[in-house]
Amino acid sequence: MAAARVTLYSSMESYRQQRKGKVILVRETLSETLVAASEKLKENVEELRLLTGGVVDDITLLREDDILIAVTSSTESTRATPSSPIILSDLPEDQLPELGPQTDQSHFLLKKCSRLLSPDAPSRHDWVRLNVGGKVFATSRATITSDPSSMLARMFESDWFSATDDSGAYLIDRSPEYFEPLLNFMRHGKLIINEGVNPQGVLEEAKFFNVTKAIQPLETLVKNEEFSLAGHLTRKEFLQMIIGSSSSSVLRCQGINLEGVDLSNLDLRNINFKCANLRYCDFSHSDLTNCVLERADLSYATLNNAVLQCVHMPRVVMEGACLKKCIMDASLGVSTNLEGANLKAATFDNSQMSCVNLRLASLKGACLRSCNLRYAIMAGTDMENCDLRGCDLQHANLRGANLAGVNFADITAPLHMSQTVNVNVSQLISPTENLQQSLDNPLPDGSNDNND
């Protein structure tokens, strides 16, 4: 393996001032490397240290372009001795004793204690200056150390060597554009990103500095932005579209992507949502009168208490949707059209559905308890395992429907035999006595039937 090239400084002060740096090649052994360093610096180098203060005792740990601080005999002569006690906090950073093979634990603890007990010891309320990518930020030490596990907090520990510029500001080689929102987050705990700043960049800064509290909200923000860039509209953007249009005019939203958007409590009349992606949307208490939802995808959407009168939605997908207490009757003169719709496992409890067109729709496993289905057209509908308990099915057209496993318990009016032509009665589960009697004793001639 090729020898690593490292940069050598005679002291920490030399490194901070970026002067007297020497480039050397790491030799095969530590002793040979110390000899080469001594020749370069023209001083007797006794050991090598990393910027973090760690002593290099294994040459294989060095990597290309590492920066090393040399400990020379002149440096050692300035260290404190029992015969000449000094305050360690008065020493330059490069002359402070570090924990290593030639220093013991007591020296290391003494260094930290002397700094803490010194009148000039740093306070949490001290102001510090950070030079981030050429832009200087002023903040308090308390802000920087607000997240004890972050790299920024470690930078201001007493045993951390931090490079500074000519003005004394701590040098940080990162982007100031992405660092600023992170610094503000540490100040007040709120994530505020100005327009034009990429949240992905701020997220990378949070991960680099290990500001753990900011990572999760930033990941959520990045995910939402990627979703928006994929063509997804937000509630705010959609409202801006409809505010400028009249409720009587047809707003073209064909093929629009509004997946998961909250559209509750809105006047959405006369909008064309044909082929739109409305999965997981919330339309609760919204007015969708006269809308077009043909072949739209409303899987698992919520439409509780929504108005769906005169809505044209053949072949709409509403699998797993919740439509409790919806109004989709024909009181305005036009029936709601759900012909060929996919309504599997949907919930329509307590909905007004008189005259609704459900011809050839799939209601497999759907729940329609206590619904008003008078005159509803359900010819050829797949209603396997439907729950129709308490429904009003008077004059409903069930001809050719698949009623296997349907629960008709407690329906409000008996069914006429003509309503269920071609239905196998043995397929029905839990029929009430009223239902059985109505099938055994058809209504008198002249009753009004609903035609297919």
Q: What is the mean pLDDT of residues 204-226?
A: 86
Residue 55: strand pairing partners:
49
Q: Which of 72, 89, 210, 103 is nearest to 159 (CA)?
A: 89
Four-CA torsion 140, 143, 149, 152, nearest 10 degrees: -50
Question: Over 90: is that where the pLDDT of 300 sits?
Answer: yes
The residue among 372 and 122 whose pLDDT is bigger is 372
Write down the mean pLDDT value for the chain.
80
DSSP designation for 73: H
R_g (Cα) of the chain, nearest Å: 39
CA dist 101 and 341 (Å) reads 79
CATH fold of 127-228, please?
A: Potassium Channel Kv1.1; Chain A (3.30.710)
Q: Where in the chain is the domain with CATH 3.10.20.230?
A: 1-77
Q: What is residue 252's predicted lDDT score, i.e. its pLDDT? A: 84
Tell me: pLDDT of 392 over 80: yes
Whether residue 373 contacts residue 356, with contact meaning beta carbons closer than 8 Å, is answered with yes
The rounded percent of the chain whose pLDDT value lies above 90 is 38
Q: Which residue has the tokens 């590492």?
A: 66
Is 1-77 in CATH node 3.10.20.230? yes
Q: Express the helix, strand and coil content of the chain in percent, nearest 5 each.
A: 25, 15, 55
| Of 104, 109, 210, nearest in space to 158 by CA | 109
436 pLDDT above the threshold of 70: no
| Model confidence band, residue 77 (pLDDT cutoffs 50, 70, 90) | very low
Q: What is the pTM of this model?
A: 0.47
The CA distances from residue 394 to 380, 397, 419, in Å, are: 18, 9, 9
Task: Compare 70 and 309 and report the one with higher pLDDT.
Answer: 309
Q: Measured in Å, how far apart are the chain's first and last C-alpha atoms?
A: 86
Rounded-to-integer distance, Cα 320 and Cα 245, Å: 32
Spatial CA neighbour of 436 closest among 412, 397, 408, 396: 408
Per-residue pLDDT, 417: 56
Residue 197 corresponds to which amino acid?
V
Select from 345, 323, 349 the least CA-distant residue to 336.
Answer: 323
